[in-house]
Structure 1
Amino acid sequence: MVMTFAEAIDACIDEMADLLRSVRRHLHAHPEPSLEEYRTTEELARILGDAGILIRIAPTGRGLIAGPEPEPGSDGPPRVALRADIDALRMQDAKLAVPYRSTCAGVMHACGHDAHTAMALGAALALHRCREHLPRAIPWRAIFQPAEETGDGALEMIRAGAMEGVSAIVALHVDPELGVGRVARRAGVLTADCRDLKVEVRGRGGHAARPHQAIDPIAAAVRFVSAVYQEVPRSVDVREPVVVTFGMFHGGQANNVIPDTVCLEGTLRSLSQAARERACAAIQAIARGVNAATGAEIQVEFLQGVDPVINDPGVMDALSRAAAEVVGPDKVGEIPHPSLGGEDFAAYLRLAPGAMLRLGVAGAAGWPALHSPRFDIDERALVIGAKILARSVVLLSEGGSGHA
């Protein structure tokens, strides 16, 4: 009996279940933070190279591109890319009872990038091993990018040629709020526009017992942050979600000395350009007001961040169709609202239409949230995700969509 391409891909990935789990656990136990993913890149290059897949390591030595390259001058079907991120977060793994707990102090995979990598690896291996079962030669590409958490990795891979000749791109992101075997989709805006904030508050230092002789930058910074938290939400259309959060506050070295300077860092997240511009204007106005009231000079710098992920409806239809074939149509749900999280997958979408699907990874007892020090996944999701990615590549290469 001749197997269909879908049956061949599924069977191949089922056979790789132990390998995918092993790769994921190895990465989880040996995480590398953003901009330091050299060993992870080498390990992936070894596995893919040993399988006979053509690879290109990025010039930085972090991140790689894998997949067949077209013959010079050939005019075949469109090339579809699948993307995974390989970096970990700088935080301590608090899981004590699992053998794959992070062995690197202060670094762990708390956002599922180890799972994303294992799933993309499984899809790439399946597409390569099952190429004789495919309807025709499928020009696919797997992108394993570094530094998603810092927003640098996608641009690095684009500069390395990752999107040359790519007509569509797909990705998955694990979701610990969804049970394993379920997926969630959303056409249109999926994640937020994110901008980093750097704020310097300059006062005049002095003795803690004589604040009237100083200009206290800590007092001014507290006033500034409080005003931002209160006033920015009221300066933007209430129908437009905007979040400003300060996560870093640095100032002073002694408890009895008023310092000269305080530095703050935070993020501004929004779902539209208009909302972002209104929020930025409000923050600058608050800085001027606190300066007038306290005498402290407040300099606010808005740094380039990541654009919103806007899922292409056609690519999302193909990705959803692949998911429905794997888990069943009743297990494919809708995401009602965009997330205010950031995702540098957006950079690829400037160059080709693409879409990202949420993949359930929660077991029966549930799992801690993303970026939790106890984050983990139900590893049955690895096979599911690999099948969805591989099937979606073939569907898109054939011009398929949910309406095909």
Structure 2
Amino acid sequence: MTAPWREQLDKTVDNLFDEIVSLRRHLHQYPEPSDEEHKTSMYLYQRLADRGLHVQLIPSGRGVLADPPKAFEDDSLPRVALRADIDALRIQEANDVPYCSRVPGVMHACGHDCHTSMVYGAICALTEMSQGGLLPWPVRWRGIFQPAEETGHGAPEIIAANGLEDVQAIFALHVDPMHPVGNVATKPGVLTANCDALEVTISGEGGHAARPHLTHDPIAAAAQFIQAVYTQVPRVIDSQEAVVVSFGSLQAGENPNVIPGQVSLKGTIRTLTDEVREKTIACLERLAKGWAEASQTSIEVKIQAGAPAVYNHPRATAMIRQAAAEILGLEHVTELKRPSMGGEDFSHYLKHTAGTLLRLGCVSETKNAAMLHSPHFNIDESALAIGAKILARSALLWSNPSRKENREAVQRTASP
């Protein structure tokens, strides 16, 4: 039989649904890219403050921490955090919807508007339940609305701003168009890859396009280097290990009849283990040295460490899985067979506290659904209520005073 608080929590989220959708659509219409989330942060600050929550902007003015009203927060309890990301991508939206992005060249194509509205819904529901005396036990929660997930340094900013102060566990979810709405996927242990930024600068000697023999052509060297990377990395790394090196940017000259003096390449390196990461970087450096000598150019390789792999805490993963199963039915909760090669800076939080990241089904039909980072990406908004319910219920389940860890925490607090 379902406990009354569970039914009441779901009903509270359902009553907030229109507000959740409204917030999501506003954010979708007015997206801000990484490192520019000032208006988004102030908008969230004002909406959360209007609900009576204790709200603070982090020092950069980009990112918000929201806690329960002071009258309803027990400082003796450990916190459980619910995290959302608020930044958008530099993509021109191609959807024809009333809430289409009004900012040219910027779009919420990774669902961060959804994540934000779901965390908002979850903490508002917990607040209403607390104020109405409907919670089965006290919950000391924190809503984290972080900037710059796409560039990988938003989570460290939140941590530096004491965003994890007293936090015992942190929960998050990510919309996933590979799963239909009403379904979720979890995975204890490694969920995502290490993701490092790769920059390659190839310098040669430019000249007239009619006389390439009088130049040291960096475009030719770049083409050969890219092909070598795509060919040789899979031959160096064990085929049973996962590694993906991709280039997404190539910038060179501006004139069709001039061989430029320099080419800039940008890409990413994605691996699941430190050993494979080190082998991959060593391979890239050897290839750069070899092709530089062969093409009479210089090839400089720079690696900027990005987000480490997300490692989902087993107990936190079991907790969010239980919450999802109670809401959706166990048959709609699957376990991912292998990690994703995508990156997620949620991993930084997991270096400091227990936590887990859930994949949330978000489309009516997966067959022809637009993927994340697509200009056509969109969701079935019924997923927003599901996500808010899972997050709120996870916070409650984790805060259950009968849990051994919580009993011990209370005993430590009570000790003289």
Which TM-score bucket, shorter chain as reference? over 0.9
1:76 is displaced (CA, Å) by 3.1
SS state at 2:390 partner: helix
In structure 2, the residue corresponding to 1:177 is in which secondary structure?
Answer: strand
| Alignment-derived partner of residue 397 in structure 1 | 399
Spell out the pairing of 1:5-404 with structure 2 (5 A cutoff).
5-68=5-68, 76-96=76-96, 98-131=97-130, 132-364=133-365, 367-398=369-400
Determine if contact 1:4/1:133 at 8 Å carries over to the other structure.
Answer: no
Query: CA–CA distance in 2 between the matches of 1:44 and 1:259?
Result: 47
1:9 to partner: Cα distance: 1.4
Q: State the AA in 2 paired with 1:127.
A: L
Tell me by how many angstroms 1:389 deviates.
0.1
**Cα deviations by residue, 1:9-34 (Å, 9 ceiling, x for unpaired):** 11110101111111111111111111
Structure 1: state its 5+ residue gaps.
Answer: none
Conserved? CA contact 1:64–1:144, under 8 Å: yes
For 2:69 and 2:81, how far apart are their aligned partners in 1? 12
Per-residue deviation, 1:78:
2.4
Distance in 2 between residues matched to 1:399 and 1:349, nearest whole Å: 23
TM-score, normalised to structure 1's length?
0.95
Pick closer, same or farther for the CA change 1:180–1:214 going to 2, 3 Å. same
Using the alignment, how far apart are the partners of 2:112 and 2:4 within structure 1? Answer: 31
Give me the whole-angstrom Cα distance separating, in 2, the residues matched to 1:76 and 1:174: 34
SS in 2 for 1:82: strand
Segment drifting more, 373-382 vs 29-38 = 29-38
| Secondary structure, aligned partner of 1:359 | strand
Provide Cα deviations, 1:331-358, integer angstroms capped at 9, x if missing partner: 1011111000010000100110110010
1:86–1:114 contact (8 Å) kept in structure 2: yes
- For the 8 Å contact 1:367–1:377, the answer to whether it is kept is no
Work out whether residues 110 and 375 of structure 1, in 8 Å CA contact, stay in contact via their aligned partners in 2: yes
What amino acid maps onto 1:379 in structure 2? E
Q: Which amino acid aligns with 1:396?
A: W
Distance in 1 (CA, whole Å) between partners of 2:70 and 2:275 is: 43
CA offsets 1:192-223 (integer angstroms, 9 cap, x no match): 00000111101111222222211111111111
Q: Summarize deviations over 1:79-134 as a string: whole Å, max 9, x none.
A: 110100011100000012x1011111000111111110110000010111101212
User: Partners of 1:137 and 1:395 in 2: how far apart?
Assistant: 11
Contact 1:204 1:216 in 2 (8 A): yes
- Separation of aligned partners in 1, 2:350 and 2:398: 15
Query: What displacement does 1:70 show?
Result: 7.8
Cα displacement (A) at 1:137: 2.1
Is the contact between residue 70 and residue 139 of structure 1 (CA under 8 Å) also seen in structure 2? no
Query: Are 2:137 and 2:401, in contact at CA under 8 Å, matched by a contact in 1?
Result: no
1:75 CA drift (Å) = 6.6
CA distance in 2, matches of 1:299, 1:293: 15
Alpha-carbon distance between aligned partners in 2 of 1:108 and 1:47, rounded to the nearest angstrom: 22
TM-score, normalised relative to structure 2: 0.93
Conservation of the 8 A alpha-carbon contact between 1:3 and 1:133: no
> Aligned residue for 2:408?
none
Give unpaired runs (5+ residues) of structure 2.
404-416
RMSD: 1.8
8 Å Cα contact 2:138/2:399 also seen in 1: no
> What amino acid is the match of 1:169?
I
Deviation at 1:36, TM superposition (A): 1.1
> What CA distance in whole angstroms lies between the structure 1 residues aligned with 2:259 and 2:21?
54
Corresponding pairs, count: 398
**Distance (Å, rounded) in 2 between the aligned partners of 1:52 and 1:249:** 49
375-384 or 253-262: bigger deviation: 253-262
Change (3 A) 1:200 1:303: same
Please tell me the residue identity of whatever aligns with 2:99.
Y
Distance 1:398 1:175 in 2: 29
Instruction: Tell me the CA shift for residue 136 of structure 1.
Output: 2.6
The separation in 2 between residues aligned to 1:70 and 1:50, in whole angstroms, is: 14
Tell me the SS of whatever aligns to 1:11.
helix
Asked if the contact 1:193/1:308 (under 8 Å) is kept, the reply is: yes
For the 8 Å contact 2:52–2:69, the answer to whether it is kept is no
2: distance between equivalents of 1:79 and 1:342? 26
Q: Aligned in 2, Cα 1:260/1:364: closer, same or farther, shift over 3 Å?
A: closer
Please give the secondary structure, in 1, of the residue aligned with 2:245: strand
Structure 1 pair 236–364 and aligned structure 2 pair: CA distance change class (3 A): closer
Quote the offset at 1:38 in angstroms: 1.5
The CA distance in 2 between the partners of 1:204 and 1:400, in whole Å, is 71
2 CA distance for matches of 1:349 and 1:112? 21
Deviation at 1:56, TM superposition (A): 0.8
Q: In 1, distance between residues paired with 2:126 and 2:32?
A: 27
Name the stretch that deviates more: 39-48 or 98-107: 39-48
Structure 1 CA distance, aligned partners of 2:77 and 2:327? 24
Amino acid at match of 1:347: H
Letter in 1 for 2:106: V
Give the letter aligned to residue 297 of structure 1.
Answer: S
